[in-house]
Amino acid sequence: MSGLISDILRNAQSLNIHARNVEVAGHNMANQNDPAFARQRLAPKEAVTLQTAFGLQPGGVTSWGREQARSFIIDKQVVQSQSEVAYAKAQKETRENLQTALGEEIDRKSSTASLDTIPDSDTVEGSLSKAIDEFFNAFQELSASPDDTAAKEVLFQKAEIMTTRFNIVDKRVEEVRSNLQEKVSDEIQQIDDLLTKIADLNAEISKLEFKKKGLAVDLRDERQQAIEELAELVSVEMVPLDNSIVGVSAKTDDGQNLVLVDETGKLDALVDDQGQLVFDPIRGSIAGLIDSETAIEKLKADNLNPLAAQLVVSVNTAYSNTDGTVGNFFDEDSSTAGGLKLDESLSVDSIVATHTTFSGANDVALNISKLAEKEFSKTNEDLIDGTFSEFIATTAARVGQDLRTAEADLELQQLAETRILDDRAELGSVNVNEEVTDLMRYQRAFQGTSKVIGVLDQLLETVVTGLVR
């Protein structure tokens, strides 16, 4: 009778295992479209052997919990690749915004291209290059009719359009910088929230698995997803601290290792008094955004402001005279792209085409119109190299080249990420056909075991009845 009872107990354990296997297969199928989910399997183990009056009785099969089809090494590679992709993506988006802010959509094949070699249909209406071109054309028209009031009105209008265009471009570039800084602040808050979430999940997983492993597999998936979301913001490294807790650390530019999450929780002081990160991240979207500020500053310091200053110096030098009777054309104290403006004393009536008293003279207007073709050189202490048109073309080409480089880098990093994600999917993704097959197999095993228990129960009843008689 003892043998019948132990057989019933063993089959009851098997029945429980089959039922749990059915549950796991159904859970896998329910999460087949969740990219953060790793396929689960019930982890069987041999039950404790029982000592009875009839000798040792095998305990059958039980389970220590669920296990996941995950590789810690692959997960670390995914985390690293996502930081690289996020960095490249942030760089690309900033370059796109700078190109839009510049407003130069001319397809320049070389840095020496100029507006003279580009068809008018290829220039953008309202662009900075178009505005400068029309400004000098207006002086050309004035030189042909130096006493024509209408020509002076057109010149004044084109000059105002050009200064406004400089101001708008500078404003848009600053908006790119402002949006970038706001995004950095938002992402710092996201980092803090994710670190809190990871620390809380560590504590919860450790608590659930203190006595028995395999009880927090879904929480492990959630923690891995949080770490990968964190990696998109800032480059981090996963460190296994024990069987349940995963630590998170960050490498700084100077090679230092900063612990963000450990057994005790998350880093207390993530930002300084100015609200900035206490370390310089190597990769991640924040690093991409911070590094992009250099490109913004370079565009202004090396291109837009020198271009505006060269215009102010060149035009004012040609326009004003030595005795002071003719003032400046541009405000000489506002020679940046954002501050460029006409001299306060300038008006349509005060515009002059000559410094002489001869009727029809056009020396001033003609000299300024020729500035459009003047080759400037920094070696001659000028502020730019090439003509105004060539310099704008070079600026646009450089911004475009930076964008193409960022696009190529992003594409390369995405290819590497795809390969790693494919490796992880091959290891841990849910195969519906396989799960359906397992579901049917465990259901039939459940039914078969139920029948065995039924037969054993009948035998036990017969034995007990016989003993009573």
Sign for the CA dihedral angle at 99, 105, 107, 109 comes to negative
pLDDT at 154: 95
* Closest alpha carbon to 118 in 367, 405, 127: 127
pLDDT at 114: 40
Report the phi/psi class of residue 360: left, alpha or beta, with left for phi > 0 and alpha for psi in -120 to 50.
Answer: left
The DSSP letter of residue 333 is T
Answer whether 236's CB lies under 8 Å from 249's CB.
Answer: yes
pLDDT at 5: 61
pLDDT at 344: 92
Cα torsion at 100, 101, 107, 113 (round to 10°)? -170
pLDDT at 119: 39
pLDDT at 122: 40
- The single residue listed with the structure tokens 């249909």 is 121
Structure tokens at 228: 């990968």
Structure tokens at 11: 């089959």
pLDDT at 121: 33
Structure tokens at 428: 């841990």
**How far apart are alpha carbons 417 and 84 in whole angstroms?**
9
* Closest alpha carbon to 235 in 196, 283, 198: 283
- The single residue listed with the structure tokens 């073709």 is 373
pLDDT at 42: 73
**How far apart are alpha carbons 254 and 237 in whole angstroms?**
16
CA angle 368, 149, 332 (to 5 degrees): 40
- The single residue listed with the structure tokens 């995914």 is 78
pLDDT at 456: 67
pLDDT at 123: 40
pLDDT at 108: 43
**How far apart are alpha carbons 111 and 300 in whole angstroms?**
18
**How far apart are alpha carbons 461 and 159 in whole angstroms?**
108
pLDDT at 424: 85
pTM: 0.80
**How far apart are alpha carbons 362 and 178 in whole angstroms?**
46
pLDDT at 47: 59
**How far apart are alpha carbons 412 and 342 in whole angstroms?**
48
Q: Read off the pLDDT of residues 374-387 as tens digits, 9 standing for 90 and up.
A: 999 999 999 999 99
Q: Read off the pLDDT of residues 343-359 as tens digits, 9 standing for 90 and up.
A: 999 999 999 988 887 87
Q: DSSP assignment of 244-255, as one string?
A: S-EEEEEEBTTS
Which residues of the chain have a pLDDT value below 70? Answer: 1-13, 15, 44-65, 105-126, 253, 453, 456-457, 460-461, 463-464, 466-469
